[in-house]
Structure 1
Amino acid sequence: MKKIGVLTSGGDSPGMNAAIRAVVRKAIYHGVEVYGINYGYAGLINNDIHKLEIGDVGDIIHRGGTMLYTARCEEFKTPEGRQTAIDHLNAIGIQGLVVIGGDGSFRGAEKLTELGFPTIGIPGTIDNDIPGTDFTIGFDTALNTVIDAIDKIRDTATSHERTYVIEVMGRDAGDLALWSGLADGAETIIIPEESYSMTDIVKKLRRGHERGKKHSIIVVAEGVGSGPEFGQKIQEETNLETRVTVLGHIQRGGSPTAYDRVLASRLGAHAVELLLDGKQGCAVGIRNNKLVHKDITQVLSETHEIDQEMYRLSQELSI
């Protein structure tokens, strides 16, 4: 293999640039040319492909976002679109592709592999919802962003003796809510993987208020419902002054943490190694701090699961 490509797709996450850097430098170290594809799968179809040299990925390891940009592409979901993408890759002589992104990006990589084009997926999403890996690139940074925000909100909640509902990202995965809620001592954590009772939440808030508790923090994953709606229900049920903060896209930005930089570097290099070893249709990941890879179709067939022990602990500590 003499030429490989790399792209980022779907939602951006801190650490994607570090992964791109690792792919480029690892490949060049082994005498392989690397081509960057702008705007994900849309760039493949539009032939927005350019060669990357060592200097092109200098001074990006600390930057959030992605230097290759990202976009969603409906045309790639069609057989004609995928064939156009492969034709453009073949015209340049690119023999393998590294895709950095979430489950939607992985499905695109799976389709390319089915058509005979060697592709490796790297999990990059703040949701941490990709099976087969303990952590995805960007989760740790987003988690620390959320924790910092909740710390600041708690100062205000304490000063004004209010209940605060904080909506965090996560779509169908509650990892951001669970980890941040546990780290910040939230009184209630509401995630899509677990059922909840508004009656129980209200009872806990009233119980705390009766024993002299001046404020409460409730963390809600966006996949469960609207933070403002939860806040309205809680105020109506408890008559406690309640405020709502929706953290939104601030969670995706910022300089990646040391952990995300190292994780992205390791996964990026491992993806290149797999391509050079003749592997394809794999998703790389990390388990117990060891690099692993798994069939991407198998990964996509599995369901992300929350850490039940951690969830139970959060309930036990928030009495």
Structure 2
Amino acid sequence: MPAAAPAPPGPYGFLGPEGSFAHAAALALTGEPDALVGCASVAEAVDAVRAGTVTGAVVPLENSVEGSVPATLDELAELAPLAGGPPLVIAAECYLPVVFDLLVRPGTRPEAIGTVATHPHAAAQVRRYLLTRLPAATLIPVGSTAAGARAVAEGSYDAAVAPAAAGRRYGLDSLATDIADRPGAVTRFVLLCPAVPPAPPTGADRTTLVVYPRDDHAGALLEILSEFASRGVNLTRIESRPTKDQLGRYSFSIDCEGHVADSRVGDALAALHRICAEVRYLGSYPRSDGRAGPVPDGRTDAAFAEAAGWLARIRGTGTG
């Protein structure tokens, strides 16, 4: 795994409270167990960064089963954040396996469970289990899995779907373990910070951006994709999100292989800047999985430099 850039000094917000998957991700990304501040929602964590009350925030971005987390995508895509403050970038990422337990207060029996609290993303991953094992229970959405566990410990609900760490933290028993409908799920968490120059490329990097097409015309998405394809830049994620200013208008949230310092990636971003209404650069950072895709012939930094020299000779002397 490539080494991430050193995290700035804390404190750091995370989607909490303690015992959540985001808490575990925050520990992994920052190494600062005593400088972590639990936040009730992604929006609250992001607002804390923009307000300067925390240095950065660790929030979920996507899950291997349920896909991206809309709250995080929308906070990053806002051209004019409702809460004000500076634009944010992704400074680092980590992948975290997510295993869900059914947590209850000691002595609770399955037939006594009338309410189950959890985060909506977790609920979607255990949907079939709950329908089969607890068909009469009411599902209660809460801000995080750990918040559900804490609420059970406080007596607000009968059970929670949460990590085993949350059960240990709040004195709950695991009535059932590893209850996901599809075992082996992984969630990608990111560390958000105010915009700073990116760390140098490692050779196994990812760049994230949000692209706003200039207008609604045939082939707008194809134009965007062509700028990446023609430069040999592989996309690892692309999805549309409503711009929220007009029905039918969408932006595109994109992850691509490579670093903004790579010639092919920088050239693609510059081309998008020319043809799109807005391009929000959201950071270049080491990939948590350490993967580095192949760079096609003619798209390396050396090839770009050679081509630029060739063009300069033509412009200066008339011959290449």
Q: Same fold (TM over 0.5)?
A: no
Higher relative contact order, structure no. (Cα contacts within 8 Å, ≥ 6 residues apart): 1
When you count helix as a share of all residues, which structure comes out higher?
Answer: 1
TM-score by length of 2: 0.29
